[in-house]
Structures are given as C-alpha cells and as structure tokens.
C-alpha cells in the first residue's frame, strides 16, 4: 500500500472460492502466507469459504493418474511449492523416476530433455500421484478458509454493487465481495458468466488406464517416465501412477470428439471392446506396453477428448484461475504447474496491490503469456507425436 491512510481493499472482505482443486487450495495456502508476511495492515483479514462439488473421499481417492511438477522456463511448479514450504513433503511422497524421456516404439530413448540443476532446488522435477498432491494441499489449508465438501456452485450472478451472489447445490445462496473461480476445465461458472470463452476440442482422443499394483516397475518405468512414438499415428504415454501401479495413455487424432467415458462406468462388453482397441493401437510398441495392458485394472479405463480454453483476461469481482481460465490438454503436461503458479501469484497480487483492478491486471499479465505458450507447446506435441512416417525418420536419423 502506498498510503497509510487508505484502507486495503481486502479488509474484512468475504471471498468465495469455487473448487478445492489444485489452484483453489494453493490460493488459500498462499493467501495466508502473504497476509502473515506483508498483510498485517489488512485487519480484519478476509474470510474464505471454499465450495467443492465432490466429497473429500472422492477428491483424494478417485483420480488415478500422476502429475509431473516442473521447474523449466514457463512451468515453475517446483519453485512455487518450495516457496509455499511444501516441496520436501511432496518429494517424500513422489513416484520413482525424476526425468521425462521421449522413446521410440522399442523404448529406446530419442530425447531426454533435462533442466540444468537450479540453485536451492533439491531436484528439478518430480512425478507425484495427483491424489497425494491434493491430500497434502488439503492438509495445509489455513483455518480461516473453510471447505464445504459435496456442495458445488450451480450458478453465479454479478450484482450491480460489485458483489457476487452464488447459488449452491444445497439450495442456499451466498453473497461475497470476491469470487475466485477454480472449478477446472469444465467450469460451470465460466459457462454462465463468460460464455464466450468455450472449452474447445483440439483434435486428439485418449484411451487411458492404470494397472493393478505391480511387484516392481518394469524398465524403463523403474527409472523414468515419458512418451513413446511409433510413427503410426498412435502416441503413447507411460508413467508410474503412484508407487506401485503404472498409468498408460494411448492417443490418436480425430476431426471430431468421441463420447467420453468416465472410469468405472462401463459394462464388461464396452471394456472388452476398448481394451481390444487399445491393444490394436499399441501393437507396434514393445514391452513393457503388452505387460501393462495385461495388468490393466478394468475399473480405471477411461476415454477423454483433448480440450482447451484460450486464455482470457479477468474483470470485475470474479477472477478465473487455473484450468477455468486457460485449460490446457494433458499433452501440455503443464496445467497443474500453471494452477499452482496461478493460485500463488493471485494471492501475492491481491495482498500487495493498491486496488483490485491493479491486482487483477498484474495477475493476468503473469498468467496469460505463460499459458498461451504452454498451449502452443501442447499443439506442437499433438502434431508431432501423432504424425506418420516422416517424423519417425527424422528422430531416427538425429
């Protein structure tokens, strides 16, 4: 604050956060830290209510894939978790393997992009089960932020006095001074308040699943994870999904999206068909892929369409962050890193800025260029990874 006479715009305000996902929880943890460090003059400090559609058990129990947290250029999830004091706890719970590798269909490495060591960081990347990451974030939620589980936000209205009214799934309405929208790529609130910013299909379809617990990870999963390229249009991703199981994702290009299938919702006949399709699509890949297919947990099989939201600027008293503001398909391997950085930087700007407008502008100036770049990189990977023939030759010659 430049003036000691002017009251900070957060004093005594009520904030509602939509979604206790990655961005929403990081925002709350970071806000507490910035208020403690730089916000002693913000008294009474703001009160936060977080409304989360899922139950706490669903949130930490159902998401069977892992996430790579990075420290390169635009993706600074590692550095941000360190600033929050959470990195060591996350590393202790992370999966085996510390680097990403791009393989050919025989799992011979084509590229091992490595970030040079960064001073002060114990390691430059980690792969962690999404459930573990969220469990740790939820554990560190500050006491002034109350999570209302199993209580989604069904609608929101921007009022003339600048406040926001939200409708809750339990039939109640709540009013707040600031609504932080962190409800993910399918954001209900975005479709209501910013309908022009749509979630668009970007031309790739993924079949994914994880395995039963394995006795030990087969090579190369015992030391690394990554993508494998066959040159026949079927791109493969394999990684430990936690400390005992692996996740595989095979993807292909399509002009139109496919009906999505959520894990655990398919009949045995459908599952057999999808697993037969996955076997056919991965027939050019050597071990460990056939073994991972054999060990697949049927209830984990899912089909998804790669989608994204072109990043957009915020205004008024509703601030979109994470996937709700700039969803990136999983080909970016970046969305969680972006959500972590968004939550942290929004909290920082809100505490340090002189006005809400200034805070929102400073936040958008940080998040929009990096998410545009991440989306651009995901497009390149989609194009190269699913291409036929010529790229295969190019990599083999290099």
Ligand X SMILES: Cc1cc2nc3c(=O)[nH]c(=O)nc-3n(C[C@H](O)[C@H](O)[C@H](O)COP(=O)(O)OP(=O)(O)OC[C@H]3O[C@@H](n4cnc5c(N)ncnc54)[C@H](O)[C@@H]3O)c2cc1C
Quickly tell me which residue has 């497009």 as its tokens: 379
Binding-site member from 177, 183, 242, 308 for ligand X (CB under 6 A): 183
Nearer to ligand X, 8 or 53 (CB): 53
Is residue 51 part of the contact set for ligand X (CB under 6 A)?
Answer: yes
Residues in 64-93 at the binding interface with ligand X, rule: CB under 6 A: 65, 67-68
Residues in 141-160 at the binding interface with ligand X, rule: CB under 6 A: 152-153
DSSP structural state of residue 7: P
Is residue 308 part of the contact set for ligand X (CB under 6 A)?
Answer: no
Is residue 104 part of the contact set for ligand X (CB under 6 A)?
Answer: no
Is residue 333 part of the contact set for ligand X (CB under 6 A)?
Answer: yes
Is residue 330 part of the contact set for ligand X (CB under 6 A)?
Answer: yes
Per CB under 6 A, the segment of 63-71, 222-230, 277-285, 378-386 that binds ligand X is 63-71
What span, in angstroms and rounded, lies between the C-alpha atoms of 286 and 298?
Answer: 21
Is residue 179 part of the contact set for ligand X (CB under 6 A)?
Answer: no
Binding-site member from 308, 323, 348, 364 for ligand X (CB under 6 A): 323
User: What is the nearest approach in angstroms of ligand X to the Cβ of residue 341?
Assistant: 10
What span, in angstroms and rounded, lies between the C-alpha atoms of 89 and 269?
Answer: 42
Binding-site member from 19, 288, 311, 385 for ligand X (CB under 6 A): 19
Phi-psi region of 12 (alpha: psi -120 to 50; beta: other; left: phi over 0): left
* Beta carbons of 137 and 19 less than 8 angstroms apart: no
Is residue 184 part of the contact set for ligand X (CB under 6 A)?
Answer: yes
Quickly tell me which residue has 């009251």 as its tokens: 7
Task: Give me the sign of the Cα torsion angle 122, 124, 128, 132.
Answer: positive
Nearer to ligand X, 45 or 124 (CB): 124
Pairing of strands 235-240, 246-253: antiparallel
What span, in angstroms and rounded, lies between the C-alpha atoms of 66 and 205?
Answer: 19
User: What is the nearest approach in angstroms of ligand X to the Cβ of residue 259?
Assistant: 17
What span, in angstroms and rounded, lies between the C-alpha atoms of 257 and 248?
Answer: 20
Report helix, strand or coil for 385.
Answer: helix
Return residues touching ligand X (CB under 6 A): 18-24, 51-54, 59, 65, 67-68, 152-153, 182-184, 188, 322-324, 330, 333-337, 339
């Amino acid at each position: 604050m430049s003036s000691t006479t002017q009251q900070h715009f957060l004093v005594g305000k009520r904030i509602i956060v939509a979604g206790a996902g990655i961005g929403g929880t990081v925002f709350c943890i970071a806000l507490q830290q910035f208020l403690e460090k730089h916000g002693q003059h913000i008294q009474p400090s703001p009160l936060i209510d977080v409304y989360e559609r899922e139950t706490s058990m669903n949130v930490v129990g159902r998401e069977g894939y892992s996430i790579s947290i990075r420290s390169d250029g635009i993706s600074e999830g590692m550095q941000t978790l360190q600033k929050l004091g959470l990195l060591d706890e996350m590393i202790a719970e992370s999966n085996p393997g510390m680097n990403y590798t791009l393989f050919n269909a025989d799992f011979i490495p084509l590229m091992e992009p490595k970030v040079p060591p960064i001073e002060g960081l114990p390691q430059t990347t980690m792969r962690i089960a999404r459930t573990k990451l969220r469990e740790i974030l939820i554990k560190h939620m500050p006491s002034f932020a109350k999570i209302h589980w199993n209580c989604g936000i069904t609608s929101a209205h921007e009022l003339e006095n600048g406040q926001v009214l939200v409708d809750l799934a339990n039939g109640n309405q709540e009013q707040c001074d600031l609504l932080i929208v962190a409800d993910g790529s399918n954001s209900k609130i975005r479709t209501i308040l910013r309908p022009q910013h749509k979630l668009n299909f970007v031309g790739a379809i993924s079949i994914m699943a994880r395995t039963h617990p394995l006795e030990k990870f087969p090579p190369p999963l015992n030391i690394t994870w990554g993508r494998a390229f066959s040159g026949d249009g079927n791109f493969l991703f394999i990684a430990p999904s936690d400390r005992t199981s692996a996740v595989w994702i095979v993807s292909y290009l399509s002009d139109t999206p496919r009906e999505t299938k959520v894990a655990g919702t398919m009949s045995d006949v459908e599952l057999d068909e999808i697993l037969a399709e996955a076997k056919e699509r991965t027939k050019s890949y050597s071990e460990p892929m056939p073994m991972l297919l054999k060990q697949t947990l049927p209830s984990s099989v899912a089909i998804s369409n790669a989608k994204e939201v072109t990043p957009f600027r915020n205004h008024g008293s509703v601030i979109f962050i994470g996937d709700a503001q700039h969803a990136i398909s999983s080909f970016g391997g970046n969305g969680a890193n972006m959500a972590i950085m968004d939550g942290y930087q929004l909290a920082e700007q809100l505490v340090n800025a002189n006005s809400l407008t200034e805070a929102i502008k400073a936040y958008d100036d940080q998040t929009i260029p990096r998410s545009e770049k991440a989306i651009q990189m995901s497009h390149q990977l989609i194009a190269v990874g699913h291409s036929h023939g010529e790229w295969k030759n190019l990599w083999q010659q290099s």
